[in-house]
Amino acid sequence: MARILVKTKDPKEVQDLRKHGKIIFLSSLVDVVGIETTEAEVEKIKGLVGEDRVRESARGTVQKD
């Protein structure tokens, strides 16, 4: 399973994204959707919304100097 973040431009895109995975969260403040899906579906989502609007989700880490 992969967790990705997708930058949305239109609320209607969320309905299309639901077909490709489980919506984990929606942020109307920054227009980002978190999705849990398979690697194969990630490629389909990149084709649907554009590769530049999709990135892998990552846990926050503290950088040491």
Domain ranges of the chain: 2-50
List the structure tokens of 28. 């109307």
The per-residue pLDDT for 28 is: 82
Q: At 63, which amino acid appears?
A: Q
Report whether 32 contacts 57 (CB < 8 A): no
Q: Which residue has the tokens 């990135």?
A: 55
The per-residue pLDDT for 62 is: 62
How far is residue 52's CA from residue 65's CA, in Å, rounded to a whole number?
A: 30
**What average pLDDT does range 2-28 have in this prediction?**
92
pLDDT of 11 > 90? The answer is no
The per-residue pLDDT for 61 is: 62
The per-residue pLDDT for 58 is: 79
Closest CA to 54 of 12, 29, 17: 17
**What average pLDDT does range 1-20 have in this prediction?**
92
The per-residue pLDDT for 14 is: 92
The per-residue pLDDT for 23 is: 96
Q: Are strands 54-56 and 2-7 parallel, antiparallel or unpaired?
A: antiparallel
